[in-house]
Chain A
Amino acid sequence: MIEFKDIKKSFGDKIVLDGVSHVMETGKANLIIGSSGSGKTVLQKCLVGLIEPDEGEIIYDGKSFTDMNDEDRKLLRQQIGMLFQGSALFDSMNVENNIKFPLDMFTTDNHSTKLKRVNEVLERVNLVGSNKKLPAEISGGMKKRVAIARAIVLNPKYLFCDEPNSGLDPQTSMLIDKLIYEITKEFNMTTIINTHDMNSVMEIGENILYMVNGKKEWTGNSKDIIFSDNKKLNEFIFASEFLQDAKNMRMLEANGKIDGNGDVVEKK
């Protein structure tokens, strides 16, 4: 579980995070959503310590990350896996070495044990046989999967994903979402996903934090979104006519009739 309280961060005069508090639950896909510039990436970077917040406290399973010294943070980070927006694979290393890198750095296992583990995680992300390919030789979706494999190779307790679907087609996006969700359940990880992909929100959003201008605007899960009357949230999630229709259909299924404007007029 990761809890953060009253996180504030400014860059010069620009307030990016303005007192955000929330609890990210273990074994769930925790989503941070919001439009571009809402502060979700800065929040995630604050949570992993890549950016120091100006105020507030971050607590990992009861231990204050904010008060930790560098050595303790380094130890904690070995329990964190992160999937970056651009995958952040090491260009000079092939897929196998990219995934093996954390094992080389932090374990004393022999080569064959490391290789076995690499193949296990490659199988988990459906990339068997891609060991010797360079990052430049694989597609965007495969890069994401390699990055997931690298992130989970040390069996982390916490998984951070920064826009895992960016630049991917809808089908591959769904595969990546499904993979992250399954891994979260399988290893009982605290997974935090930054996204503005509405499919992800509706498919895997178990604990959603919606941010607007650096502030917490709404929290709930994907089912709550359908019935939420939060205007900003509705405008953000159901921005297109197609998505509005989808919402109305879901509401119709649950509540009964709707009028021409999409409002519920009669409940069962």
Chain B
Amino acid sequence: MLKGMFSKPENAKLYWKEFMHQCSEVGLGSLGIVSIISVFMGAVSAVQTSYQLVSPLISKGTIAQIVRDTVILEFAPTLVCIVLAGVIGSKISSELGNMRVSEQIDALEIMGINTKTYLIMPKIAAALLTIPMLVILAMVLGIWGGRFAGSASGILSTDTYDQGLLQSFMPYNVIFALIKAYTFAFIISTVPAYYGYYVQGGSLEIGRNSTKSVVVSCVMILLADYALAALLL
């Protein structure tokens, strides 16, 4: 599928339009859910970390460090991408599956359009562009969520939290998180595209393939998560 994707576009302007449309669908369409999840995962991390850190010898600023590193290293890239695998993955798979079953892909082929290039490439490119952006947003909102929950529940002041955030900060963690984001973005866009593009049958198979694509994407994300952590940390 990937090999057949690389051909000269019949009309670059139309492909660009499709790419922008996909950026809007993948990026803007997932903004709400990513924001909500990120704020809450940061908030819950702060509250639960504080619950577990009972020793008076550990400074309150440590809570901020733990929230920061957990959010950057794991929650923002992995958790958000697993959610996106469900949101975007099922959409890509069912959209392509429906186009296949209703012969819309055949209609494009008959017109002389490389459907893999026109339908799949913009989705993968849009995912590779927007998902890392969403992950960065998730990092910011997650850390902010921890800050908000910490001060709102009286666990630690915002000043203490801010000081804690700056302690032992390793910029490499952000780079590592972005490497994960790009890897997961590729999985989230290609696996459902494959299942949708090659669906055979009717509406029942579209649903089945859509579910299968989300499950396979999630498992691949978790495997890639472990592999990247073992290799790069």
Contact = CB atoms under 8 A, between A and B. Distances in A.
Interface of A: 48-50, 73-78, 80-82, 84-86, 88-91, 101-102, 104-106, 160
A82 B104 CA distance: 11
A50 B110 contact: yes
A179 B88 CA distance: 42
A50 B112 contact: no
A102 B106 contact: no
Considering residues A74, A78, A105, which has the most beta carbons from chain B within 10 angstroms of its beta carbon?
A105
Interface string B21-65: 000000000000000000000000000000000000000000000
Max chain A Cβ within 10 angstroms of own Cβ: one of B103, B109, B110, B113: B110
A74 B112 contact: yes
20 contacts: A73-B112, A74-B10, A74-B112, A75-B112, A76-B112, A77-B109, A77-B112, A80-B112, A81-B110, A82-B107, A82-B110, A84-B103, A89-B104, A90-B104, A90-B107, A102-B111, A105-B113, A106-B11, A106-B111, A160-B110
B106 A50 contact: yes
A89 B98 CA distance: 12
B14 A105 contact: yes
Nearest to A102: B111
Interface of B: 10-11, 14, 98, 102-104, 106-107, 109-114
B106 A77 contact: no
Nearest to A48: B110
A244 B188 CA distance: 59
Main secondary structure of the interface of A (DSSP, over half): mixed
A88 B102 contact: yes
Most buried by B among A73, A84, A85: A84
Contacts of A77: 109-112
B10 A50 contact: no
A106 B112 contact: yes
A105 B110 contact: no
Contacts of A78: 111-112
A49 B110 CA distance: 8
Contacts of B110: 48, 50, 77, 80-82, 160
Given A105-B10, A106-B10, A106-B11, A50 B111 contact: no
B89 to A, nearest CB: 19
B217 to A, nearest CB: 24
A10 B14 CA distance: 37
A86 B111 contact: no
The 9 closest A-B pairs by CB, nearest first: A77-B112, A88-B103, A88-B107, A74-B112, A82-B110, A84-B103, A78-B112, A105-B11, A88-B104
Given A80-B112, A90-B107, A105-B113, 12 more contacts: A77-B110, A77-B112, A84-B106, A85-B103, A88-B103, A88-B107, A91-B98, A91-B102, A104-B11, A105-B10, A106-B11, A106-B111
A49 B114 CA distance: 13
A91 to B, nearest CB: 8
Nearest to B4: A70
A213 B98 CA distance: 30
Given A74-B112, A106-B112, A88 B106 contact: yes
